[in-house]
Structure 1
Amino acid sequence: MPSSTPRGSMLLLLPIALILAVAAALFAWVGGWLGGHGLTPQNMMDTAEASGKQQPGFRRAHSKGICFAGTFAPTAEAAKLSTARAFSQPSIAVIGRFSASSNNPYAPDGASPVRGMAVQIKTDDGQEWRVAMNSFPFFASSTPQGFQALNEAGLPDPATGKPDPSKMKAVLAAHPEIATFLAWAKSAPRSDSLGNTRFNGVNAFRLTDAQGGQRMVRWSMRPRTPFAAMTAEQAADPNFLSQDLNIRLAAGPLLWDMVVQIAAPGDPITDPSKAWPDTRQEVTIATLSIQRAEAQADGPCRDLNFDPLILPTGIAASDDPILHARSAAYSVSFNRREHEISQGKSAYPTSQNGSAR
């Protein structure tokens, strides 16, 4: 018979506490936080805040953004790859966000070659899928620790006001894959519109079909609008991307085809710094149509956390440590900015109805 004493009650709780401790340890291990020289999502966001002109109430990375609304329509081939409801419902209203990579919400649009697209897909059975992609074809580092080292090396030295070259040299020696990303960032052509930018999901996910078959995939959004290079005049305009987006949408919807690349045996599933060969099988699974855009200050995307681990049945995350680190870091960023907003510290401009957004 169980003891009714406080000591007995505490003993009964011990198995529960043990289970919770094990679960927390597993989460930390999957997220790459243990064995990583003390790296935590809080550390990562602290570094992001120190890297530029962080404004309260804004995201700690990709602070500058534009909300959009549209539809997601799957192809007939999509349902053959996954039981996810998003692939069988005829059309789904979605909201999303375009972004720039800086933590300065007022950074010039041409300052970085990296642009982001995020989409929230909510199906009629109550499930949700949040997709977060960027314009780079592969990630900067194979591990959260390498990415953090890169960001720390980029911080200005208090003595000079500039990054210390010796620190970056040490990072490249320890994480040689980063050099490939830096070379891409230096030479990548920049498009003259968000509407003709390709966005890539560099992390792998597992699709499960109705027969239980599984495939590892990476997805991308490929624009139907032809690529055109950004001009020097556009680069000098700090907000040319949002202005161009509004002009293009006034003429009609912008379309992207969502394509999955299917991994072959031996392809790196847990290393987003390595692209899969272009010869891998590809399947177009949906069309994203964007009909309108609005400023994020009052837009529906502002308070959304586009956590890439919010997934529906039929789609599962890989063990890629970068993917799990992104999820944890996004949570810290979200909590910090929501706290700032709740405390009335947000730097968002006051909307027409008088509320500070």
Structure 2
Amino acid sequence: MADDTERRILRSRTDISRRGVLLGLAAVGGIAAVDVGGFLYAKGRLTPDALTPSRIADRFEQLGGKHEGFRRNHAKGLSATGHFDSNGAGAAVSTAVVFQPGRVPVTGRFSLSGSLPDAADASATVRGLGLAFALPNGEQWRTAMVNLPVFLDSTPHGFYERLLASKPVAATGKPDPEKMADFLARYPETAAAMQVVRQHPPTSGFGDSTFRGLNAFRVTDAAGVTAPVRWMLVPERRPLPAHQAQPGKNYLFDEVIRAVAAEPLRWRLVLTVGEPGDPTHDATKAWPEGRRTVDVGTVTIDSVQTEEAGNARDVNFDPLVLPAGISASDDPLLNARSAVYARSFTRRSGEPTRPSAVTVQEVLDAR
């Protein structure tokens, strides 16, 4: 599905404040309230073993330690700003204002998975790019994407169980192989997804990565016709192989800082339109090759900033903050992500902060 589209495209070649985010969360408070109960999977009963946003946030803290003021996952990051130029093609599948022709400002955040805000960069670590589109009618669209072809889990329970199985053993620094084998036996969809991920090695950095919003959503056109979609950002830069050796502790972030200082980075925003029977509830499964794709415009990142108050550090990239014309699918991970993101945001908002491990000016001064 995605590879052919990526190759074809590659060949052709308002900051949001913490107060604003809190207001946005208040506006979707009803969603958050539903989310918490919606992914407990307690069959209608809240039990001591029920899976809650707090339990997932707690698990991240137990795995990587508690780092006050930082996200519980994707803790290491870099703020970014830019814009999205819509070419109008998206209006064929959705009435969302973001797909009308024109330009809207974008707040973004590059990140690496994990709860350590000062972890050493590594090519195998999952890379993230969150975007918040500020639309002219006052709506927002937020999306958090990663550089994987599929997600590794189909349910919140599977995700939580994988966190448990992945806990490093003190003696080796790696997961207990017996626990991981047991987990994979109970969650064969994750084992299959891992095989797919292995077939898509990472590129050299953020700027040449394809980022995907792996969950399915629904779009509705002017005639009221609704269709499932997934989206991805395809880089205009030619992808290069990942570094064989680690050039420095912050090399992935240092490279994107230097790259944006030289010229803006651009990605094509591509919608893949699903067909009847395509799974919308399971992010571990890719859709078949040959599905219709719609190139809806260009995302440009023309500035990056050290994370601090008032920029993307304070943005909650809640996947359920959606404009009219885009809605959630039946994927259970969407409610879970929204609820856990909200819990993480609430925790870090009430904590003291310390400086980011990635400092833009230091990188530019060292050139």
5+ residue gaps, structure 2? 1-30, 360-367
Measured in 1, the distance between the counterparts of 2:90 and 2:84 equals 12
Q: Aligned to 1:86, what secondary structure does the other structure show?
A: helix
Alignment-mate amino acid for residue 156 of structure 2: P
Contact 2:150 2:196 in 1 (8 A): no
Q: 1:24 to 1:44 in 2, by over 3 A?
A: closer
Q: 1:305 maps to what in 2?
A: 316
Deviates more, 1:48-57 or 1:171-180: 48-57
Measured in 2, the distance between the counterparts of 1:50 and 1:186 equals 27
Contact 2:68 2:348 in 1 (8 A): yes
Q: 1:264 maps to what in 2?
A: 275
Deviations 1:126-158 (A, max 9, x none): 011101111111111111101110101112457
Q: 1:31 maps to what in 2?
A: 39
Measured in 1, the distance between the counterparts of 2:32 and 2:120 equals 41
Q: 1:260 to 1:32 in 2, by over 3 A?
A: farther
Q: 1:192 to 1:82 in 2, by over 3 A?
A: same
Q: 2:5 maps to what in 1?
A: none
Check if 1:293 corresponds to 2:304. Answer: yes
Contact 1:32 1:324 in 2 (8 A): no
Could you tell me which of 355, 360, 366 is aligned with 1:348? 355
Contact 2:123 2:243 in 1 (8 A): no
Check if 1:145 corresponds to 2:152. Answer: no
Measured in 2, the distance between the counterparts of 1:111 and 1:52 equals 19
Check if 1:318 corresponds to 2:326. Answer: no
Q: 1:137 to 1:187 in 2, by over 3 A?
A: closer
Contact 1:204 1:318 in 2 (8 A): yes
Q: 1:192 maps to what in 2?
A: 204
Q: Aligned to 2:215, what secondary structure does the other structure show?
A: coil
Measured in 1, the distance between the counterparts of 2:173 and 2:207 equals 36
Deviations 1:174-211 (A, max 9, x none): 11111133335556422212110000011111111111
Could you tell me which of 214, 217, 221 is aligned with 1:205? 217
Q: Aligned to 2:254, what secondary structure does the other structure show?
A: helix
Deviates more, 1:198-207 or 1:153-162: 153-162
Measured in 1, the distance between the counterparts of 2:159 and 2:53 equals 12
User: Cα distance, 1:112 vs. partner?
Assistant: 3.4
Structure ID, larger Rg: 1
Q: 2:146 maps to what in 1?
A: 134
Over the matched positions of the two proteins, sequence identity in percent amounts to 39
- Compute the RMSD of aligned alpha carbons: 2.5
User: Cα distance, 1:95 vs. partner?
Assistant: 0.8
User: Cα distance, 1:232 vs. partner?
Assistant: 2.7
Q: 1:83 maps to what in 2?
A: 95
Q: 1:11 maps to what in 2?
A: none
Q: After TM superposition, list the pairs within 5 Å mapping 1:80-159 onto structure 2.
A: 80-88=92-100, 90-110=102-122, 112-157=124-169
Check if 1:221 corresponds to 2:233. Answer: yes
Measured in 2, the distance between the counterparts of 1:156 and 1:287 equals 40
Measured in 2, the distance between the counterparts of 1:26 and 1:47 equals 22
Q: 2:349 maps to what in 1?
A: 338
Q: 1:24 to 1:288 in 2, by over 3 A?
A: closer
